Structure 1
Amino acid sequence: MTAESLLAFCALCLLLELTPGPNTFLVLRHSLHGARTGVVTALGSALGAMVWALAVAVGLAALLERSAQAYQVLKIAGGLYLVHLGVRTFLAHRRTSSPDAAPVRERATSLPGAFRAGLVSCVLNPKVGLFFLAVVPQFVPAGATVGATLLLGAFEAAVALTYLTVLAHVAARFVTWIRRPRVTRTLDRVSAAVLTAFGLGTIAGAR
């Protein structure tokens, strides 16, 4: 692989990240509770990209290309997970007026929970898998080993992590304004609606 091809690949990865998706909204949502939580969500998403790279390298992801049923199952699973996140966000918002609202919100935005949300969302996103199936082989030299695919996966993960980390820090800088009760309520409602809409759209598209 030449430096020019790596730069071209990284540019495509950046375009993928700039397209709003579930991971973007997850990072923004968790960044409401500080840049650290948003960055941990980004780390989970980056690791999810590496999982896809490994799947492509060993040929597992090719099942998505050959089997419409396997693609459909993964898409429905990803959609259900996004709906779960959206509903949980909405329920957490509804509980903010109760005395035990703070502990519930804290558990929902713990670092392990944020990392898990980023990881699972990326792993259950078939569009990420199809990106690796369609784009990565074009940049892997003929006769290259599995390591070449994993290397490109590492570059994609690095681009995703860099972009989402910057996004998390930018969102966290506005945390004083965002944490105003009225703004927080609005953002909770919007994030719950967006995640649920992404999930329902994904499920509908799998039918």
Structure 2
Amino acid sequence: MQQDSTRRSNRDRTEATRAQLIAAARKLFTEKSYAETGTPEIVTAAGVTRGALYHHFADKQTLFAAVVEREAAAVAEAIERASPPTLDARDALIAGSDAYLAAMRAPGRTRLLLLDGPAVLGRAAMDAIDNRHGSRSLREGLIAAMRSNTMTRLPAEALTALLAAAFDRAALAIEAGGSAEDYRAVLIALIDGLSPTRLQALRPARTR
């Protein structure tokens, strides 16, 4: 029993130290940028030793990846909370879109996920993180809409990639001062434009 308690205590301390490092690094990365932040600053801000940093993370880039992963998970959680299974497929996609735009307005998040993330980790690593979080949620929502026949059946991976790019561009534009209402309206139009009836109406009439 005492051994189990000791193991739990050690695990709690480990998780607490890791969380301190991620929180301190996030603050510095968003205030100063990844390139301008040094590991001595991070350990000082976290209140831990340099040895503790390298016990949990191989280097600064690995710590940055953990920060990005946590941010991406937070966005996905917000989307999933906003689009429960009780909503129909179209409403879930709209609610998820709204949740994404709102979640991306957290200070520093667009910089971490959309600017520094790809620059520091590379596109392939960022795509892998996205596929575990936000892109996964979007893909599941699109597949649900196609299965319910509220959206034309299209290749799910390609559709997810293109819509995700539109959402990311909207988040960046809003961060830069663009109208959130305008970008939201266009995103909703994109989603609704994929309905079978809308696409059928856009097809040119056949000539005899």
The TM-score, its normalising length taken from structure 1, stands at 0.28
The TM-score, its normalising length taken from structure 2, stands at 0.28
Compare relative contact order (CA 8 Å, sep 6+) and give the higher one, 1 or 2: 1
Which is richer in helix? 1
